[in-house]
Structure 1
Amino acid sequence: MDQAKPLISQTILKNVQLIDFFTIEAEFKKNIEMEDINSLHIKSDTHQQLSFFIESIGANRLILKLEEPYILGQISYLQLNEDKAVIGISPTLVRTELFDQLYYYPGDDLGVHYHKEKTSVAVWAPTANEVKLLLTNDWNGDKNQIIPLIRTEKGVWRTTLEGDFELFFYQLEVLINGEWRKANDPYAKMLTVNGQKAMIGDLRKTDPNDWPVYSLPVTNQDAIIYELHIRDFTIGRNNGIVAKGKYEGLTEKNTVTIQGIRSGLDYLKQLGITHVEFLPVNDFGSVDEANWQKQYNWGYDPVHYFAPEGSYATDPYHGYTRLSELKEMIATLHQNNLKVILDVVFNHVYIQEQSDFEQLVPGYYFRISPNGQLSNGTGVGNDLATERKMVRKFIVDCVTYWLEEYDVDGFRFDLMGIIDIETMKQVACQVRKRKPNALLLGEGWDLATAYPVEKRATLSQAKQIPDLAFFEDNFRDVIKGSTFAITAQGFIHGAQIDMQLLMSGVLGNPELFHSPQQAIHYVEAHDNHTLWDKLERSTKEDNSIRMKRHRLASALVLLSQGIPFLHAGQEFFRTKYGDENSYNADDFINQFDWERCYEYRGNVEFVKGLIAVRKAHGAFRLPTYKQIFEHIKWLKTSEGCLAFMLKEVEQYGEWKDIIVIFNASMHKKQFSFDYGNWQVVVDEQAASLIPLYTFNGESLEVNPLSTVVCVKL
């Protein structure tokens, strides 16, 4: 590594920084005399004199004002008699609006672009004085060919490598404020093990033989989302899957458990879900890819956003393997009419001070609180400053890359309430241009980040962003009790609740959203307690009663307007043994328990039946609130019960009228309806498109803790 030029060459000058494009702050180690001040001058490394005037004088501090804006990329010196200091770039400068105006780069060529004849390299680093490419054909070696990059427009540094550099490895080295820093390319698409270096390669060599086209198109209003973690779902000892913990595990067909039930891909197919949502599959930093069995993590520790995680690949050392295996997994799911949603984490990075963002443009990519400290609304030490133009561009570029390169069908935005509205609007716009039916959803929680809440993509701002769906926590908590109070009880416990909240959820939350497709309804997800674990801790009763309450919750999610979301294993009362936050717990806690799936296979069939009923009739997933209000009629009930009719809905399916009853009480409920031939397709025992029994409408008895769905042709 070259020796950087010292910032201070003599002893009087202590520190000199450019704090905005017109202001230089100089600190001295001792008081200076007026005759010394008169000798001050500023020169660039090209010997250009910079004009300035003195704005203020302190005992050992000066504020200088430049007459023209400072041009980044040059090295300039403040000289006082024989003393000379390099003018450093303060992090405050890169957070100014003028910085974004001057250095926003709209081009689509950042990163490395490989062709057999040549490879282009482009890196955005406006505050750097020099940038070098460290190139090698040895992924683990330190002998590099050093290639200087040329500074071009908007602070983009470039070079072109003539010839074929496939399977070469590279890193970047930048000189900023007199210090050399090493970083990986934030736009790197291929990596060596643990992201030590980026790799140059041919993306087309990682493609599957074919990208299947769906034979059963699904619109967003038809979506039924199933959330899973690749390792959880495939790691089980007796699941019949060979590639355990790997992308390939989800491509295996005809796998069965030791008990003989379908597992893996075939299990997903027979559930009837439409979308599989994967916890993060981009490169994260909390699992050693070379020894992945010894560590576990959900993956919310992003390091490289454009590259897949290597611990799920059969060979994490070769840059192609993780790409080709992930693409094959997605193609296989598509071949089986399952859409793919990726969980993406554009709210923070794993370790801020070590991140490539901070190495390449210090101070730019992260929000700063008024006290000068890193904003920490995410709770993990840093918040991405998504409102800055090049952070926004990075997010949009990344999302569209995954959409086009991996043919995914949607994205779940982790802690989306950190992200600004304008960024999410631009994401939605670019996604819709490429795939109109892509599903975009996120957590719109209002978190304490250093950016105004009215400008962030929170649940309260949902109507401003109609292309985004939001996890709806009011419906969740009114069903099961507060997620954050383990003993709190909800409707399924028979507790007294705000029935208006429950009814609003059934309607798809018209007070919150522009359309019901913005409402993501759920009662459990990967984080917080599973519903079963909450029921164990919020009730003192037999498991058979808890199972009925659990069924009632799943039925509410699947039979309400909006988009239902199921956590993998919810269908068989998934437990994590009371672990509320199992993000780094071992496989025993997190694994998809196929033995439990077999034990409670009756409930799996019940949930499959509910899914089939929902999919059988469009009245359960009406596209507008106008249609919902036209067709829904609330039925009179007593305490602990909710009932409604979807009337005159024959245009949406073969049933003319549908009655849905949720009885959360410990008492039987009696209902009388219009005379006619009613068919029961859901009761406390089963859910099936083949009618369970019929009645003439005169009287119907609904058992305690049960759901009943009656239909009339």
Structure 2
Amino acid sequence: MNIKYHLAASIAALFLSQNVSAQQRFNEMSYSPGETTFRLNAPSKPTLRLYDAGRGGKAYKKIKLVQSGDNIWTVTVKGNLKGKFYTFDIGHGETPGVFAKAVGCNGGRGAVIDMKETDPAGWSTDRRVSTKSPADLVIYELHHRDFSVDPSSGLVHKGKFLALTELKAIDHLKKLGVNAVHILPSFDFASVDESKPGVPQYNWGYDPLNYNVPEGSYSYDADLPSRRIMEFKQMVQALHKAGIRVILDVVYNHTFDLANSNFERTFPKAYYRYNADGTPSNGSGCGNETASERLLMHDFMLESMKYWVDEYHIDGFRVDLMGIHDIQTMNDIRRELNAIDPGIFVYGEGWSAGTCAYPQEKLAMKAAIPQMPGVAAFSDDIRDALRGPFSDDHKAGFLGGVAGLEESLKAGIAGMIAHPQVDYSKVNYSKKPYATEPTQMVAYVSCHDDMCLVDRLKASVPEAEYDENELIRLDELAQTAVFTSQGVPFMLSGEEMLRDKKGVHNSFNSPDSINRLDWNNLKVYPQVFRYYSGLIHLRKAHPAFHMGNADLVRRHLEFLPTQDCLVAFRLKEHAGGDRWNDIYVVLNANKELRTVNIPKGKYTIVCANGEVNESGLGEMEGGEVMVDGQSALILHN
């Protein structure tokens, strides 16, 4: 091993005082009207600089911190510093520290504020939305700017946190039926210049700067540190009042850069992974990766997530590139969150974007999900079975009439658990079950960082580009598979209004013209919204579709014989306590109609030919049942 790397790792293992808790280490600024205490965990003596403004101007005071423990430095400044700004400097450049809770414009300086003053009226009675099981969730992933910026949205607070407080936005989500909003990174990120709110700028936000402060560009005044905090809380409060959970997308696996990051400027070499030759490991594909197995990064992640839960009442977390983090850290996070609220849902990407400088078998990859009870992972198995491989936008899957993916789709429908009728040797990626419970699988067909469903269908199914009716049929068929699966269903915002992104695969910095939702589509394609809403409400109303328990799924989910590009299953014997006895779901991706055999008797049709109605669309007799091409059929007795 490289001597420099070995030395850095040894130092990182020894830097903590046994008498200082993680919470104390990361409580870098404690304000009261009479005095403010500053604390930093750093390897050498920091200088504290105090400023009148969040940017520009010179420091009006410089103070050396005093050592108060192993690598712990503190100073208490008398007087009322509210409204002032600060930085630390150990000789690597100024930084607001690693755990600033309020910052000035563009996040270069920490802000001294009274956090109690950021609470909106009624915040003390705001509560996370309870859920019996993650299986009850229906997740809607959105980007603040995408959702509201277009004039067609009719929303007042365009591109802002407050858009999600507006009646029209809340009404839309409730009519659709989703009960959890996954907001793309909403912490303070680096790529948008907050000082130019009038200049159109776009980024998804996967370039972390300050992890524990809301992003200023989504606020009305990035220069006023308390405003972004209050507006974020108002958003959470409004969604909670509507019964909608708020899931925060967290990006602990890398920073915007390494050399100028708050981590590196505060405690060099302590937060990142390095290769044997001393170069930064790059499992994130962004030039660096953090080291969750090291105590500082491990504790930072735990304290950060608990802070968002306590201060902002967050209901869940989506962990970006979870496969970069180690299994033990993810289990520790789950344990700490359980102590606060076991209903907080944690899920992530069970992969990395490159090779990590840490043993693969210790990383929180999808295959390691059985070692992480209470943690879920996205299923690329069902995603790519439906639409085709991530690696080739133009290659079709089940939806495009490609045979041989039926077993992969069945695995996803079962929640990626062991099921006697699923042959994992024929599953596209996972050659064995990766979930011990169906709630450990997130079912989806599209999300932000890929072609949206419409674009993918147009790219991979030639006819869908020119035949709008076929496009809609396949779109609805895809989501029928997602919303009738036993996993936790997840959808990208705007799919319910047939959004497109002009064919752009990776639109992380594309303009609004590519990423924005066109709300006019709700009038052009009302049948699409009705279908999505009908599916979601059908799922929520019937426990058979979300049993949430592997044994129940194995007992009550029975697959019918598969055909090429056709998967059918029965949810039998009042599955999960459902009032319906037997529910049949048939997914036919063939262009032509197909027949399946079900027991004779009278059945009520609740989904057929692009319509969903729980009360019934008509009745039919069992026996040989015909299913139209590129459509789903759901019926019950």
State TM-score, norm by structure 1: 0.83
Residue equivalent to 1:673: 598
Alignment match of 1:696 (pick from 581, 598, 621): 621
Task: Report the counterpart of residue 444 of structure 2 in structure 1.
Answer: 522
Identity %: 34
Task: Give the structure with higher Rg (CA).
Answer: 1
Task: Give the aligned partner of residue 659 of structure 1.
Answer: 584
Pair 1:138-2:53 in alignment: yes
- Does the 8 A contact of 2:5 with 2:276 survive in 1? no
CA–CA separation in structure 2 for the residues paired with 1:92 and 1:199: 37
| 1:209 alignment partner, SS class | coil
Name the structure 1 match of 2:329. Answer: 423
Q: In structure 1, how many angstroms separate the alpha carbons of the residues matched to 2:282 and 2:377? A: 22
Identify which of 139, 162, 171 aligns with 1:266: 171
Post-superposition Cα deviations, 1:302-346, rounded to whole Å, max 9, x if no partner, equal 000111100000011001000000000000000000000000100
Aligned 8 A contact 2:212 2:304 in 1? yes
Residue of structure 1 equivalent to 2:241: 335
- Equivalent residues in 2 for 1:464-613 (5 A)? 464-510=371-417, 511-541=433-463, 542-613=467-538
- For 2:428, the equivalent position in structure 1 comes to none
1:57-206 maps to which residues of 2 (within 5 A)? Answer: 93-96=7-10, 99-100=13-14, 105-109=20-24, 110-126=27-43, 128=44, 130-139=45-54, 140-175=56-91, 181-206=93-118
Cα distance in 2 between the residues matched to 1:477 and 1:138: 50
Q: Are 1:619 and 2:544 counterparts? A: yes
Encode CA deviations 1:390-410: one digit per residue, 9 max, x unaligned.
111111111100011000100
Deviation per residue, 1:25-76 (Å, 9 max, x gap): xxxxxxxxxxxxxxxxxxxxxxxxxxxxxxxxxxxxxxxxxxxxxxxxxxxx
Aligned match of 1:227 in 141, 145, 156? 141
Q: CA deviation at 1:160?
A: 1.6
Alpha carbons 1:676, 1:696 under 8 Å: kept:
yes
Residue 277 (structure 1) aligned with residue 182 (structure 2): yes
Gaps of 5+ in 2: 418-432
Unaligned 5+ residue runs, structure 1?
1-18, 21-89, 256-263
Report the TM-score, using the length of structure 2 for normalisation. Answer: 0.93
- Quick one: which amino acid aligns to residue 135 of structure 2? Q
TM-superposed deviation, 1:701: 1.8
Q: Tell me: CA distance 1:95–1:196, structure 2 relative to 1, closer, same or farther (3 Å).
A: same
Q: Are the aligned partners of 2:139 and 2:180 in contact in 1 as well (CA < 8 Å)? A: yes
* Pair 1:138–1:291, CA change in 2 (3 A): closer
Matched, 1:289 2:177: no
Quote the Cα distance in structure 2 between the aligned partners of 1:711 and 1:375.
54
SS at match of 2:93: strand
1:325 and 1:520 mapped to 2: Cα distance?
A: 30
Aligned residue for 1:238, secondary structure, equals helix
Query: Are the aligned partners of 2:547 and 2:576 in contact in 1 as well (CA < 8 Å)?
Result: no
Matches of 2:121 and 2:193, distance apart in 1: 30
Alignment of 1:346-361 (within 5 A): 346-361=252-267
Deviation at 1:697, TM superposition (A): 2.0
Contact 1:225 1:277 in 2 (8 A): yes
Secondary structure at the aligned position of 1:666 is classed as coil
C-alpha displacement of 1:525: 0.3
Q: Residues 214 and 454 from structure 1, CA distance in 2 versus in 1: closer, same or farther, beyond 3 angstroms?
A: closer
Kept in 2, the 8 Å contact 1:478–1:497? The answer is no
Aligned partners of 2:97 and 2:266 also within 8 Å? no
Larger deviation: 113-122 or 503-512? 113-122
Letter aligned with residue 202 of structure 1 = D
Structure 1 residues 701 and 248 mapped into 2: Cα distance closer, same or farther (>3 Å)?
A: same
2:282 matches 1:376? yes
Q: Tell me, what secondary structure is at the counterpart of 1:643?
A: strand
In the comparison of the two structures, how many residue pairs are matched?
Answer: 610
The partner residue of 2:160 within 246, 252, 255 is 246
Tell me which protein shows more helix as a share of its residues. Answer: 2
DSSP 3-state at the match of 2:204: coil
SS in structure 1 opposite 2:153?
coil
Higher relative contact order (CA 8 A, sep 6+): 2
Report whether the alignment pairs 1:304 with 2:210. yes
Maintained 8 Å contact 1:91/1:364: no
How many angstroms does 1:348 deviate by?
A: 0.5
Letter in 2 for 1:309: E
1:114 counterpart letter in structure 2: Y
> What SS is found at the alignment partner of 1:187?
coil
| Cα displacement (A) at 1:672 | 4.0
Deviation at 1:196, TM superposition (A): 2.6
Q: Name the CA shift for 1:362/1:709 in 2 (closer, same or farther; >3 Å).
A: same
Measured after TM superposition, the shift of residue 271 of structure 1 is: 0.7
Distance 2:390 2:68 in 1: 52
Per the TM alignment, residue 481 of structure 1 is displaced from its structure 2 partner at its CA by 0.8
Separation of aligned partners in 2, 1:535 and 1:137: 54
User: Per the alignment, in what secondary structure is the counterpart of residue 182 of structure 1?
Assistant: coil
Question: What SS class does the counterpart of residue 178 from structure 2 fall into?
Answer: coil
**How far apart, CA to CA, are the structure 2 residues paired with 1:138 and 1:672?**
73
Question: RMSD of aligned C-alpha atoms?
Answer: 1.8
Counterpart residue type for residue 381 of structure 2: N
Deviation at 1:141, TM superposition (A): 2.1
Q: 1:433 to 1:697 in 2, by over 3 A?
A: same
The whole-number CA distance in structure 2 between the counterparts of 1:196 and 1:455 is 35
Whether contact under 8 Å (1:674, 1:698) holds in the other structure is: yes
Distance 2:369 2:244 in 1: 27
Note closer, same or farther for the CA distance 1:628–1:155 as it changes in structure 2 (3 Å cut): same
Letter in 1 for 2:79: G
> Does the residue aligned with 1:172 lie in a helix, a strand or coil?
strand
Conserved in 1, the CA contact under 8 Å of 2:556 and 2:575?
Answer: no
Distance in 2 (CA, whole Å) between partners of 1:97 and 1:493 is 55
How far the C-alpha of 1:103 sits from its partner, in A, is 5.2
User: What residue number does 2:423 align with?
Assistant: none
SS at match of 2:538: helix
Paired residues of 1:643 and 1:661 also in contact (CA < 8 A):
yes
SS at match of 1:157: strand
- Structure 1 residues 602, 498: CA separation in 2 closer, same or farther (over 3 Å shift)? closer
How far, CA to CA, are the matches of 1:412 and 1:214 in structure 2? Answer: 16
Deviation at 1:287, TM superposition (A): 0.3
Q: Counterpart in 1 of 2:633? A: 708
| 1:413-461 deviations in Å (ceiling 9; x for gaps) | 1111111111111111111111110110100114311111111100111
Q: Distance in 1 between matches of 2:268 and 2:12?
A: 16
* Cα drift, residue 98 of structure 1: 6.9
2:89 partner amino acid? E
Q: Per-residue CA shift, 1:341-383, capped at 9, x if unaligned?
A: 0001001000211111111222221111123211111111110
Deviation at 1:699, TM superposition (A): 4.3
Structure 2 residue corresponding to 1:455, chosen from 362, 370, 385: 362
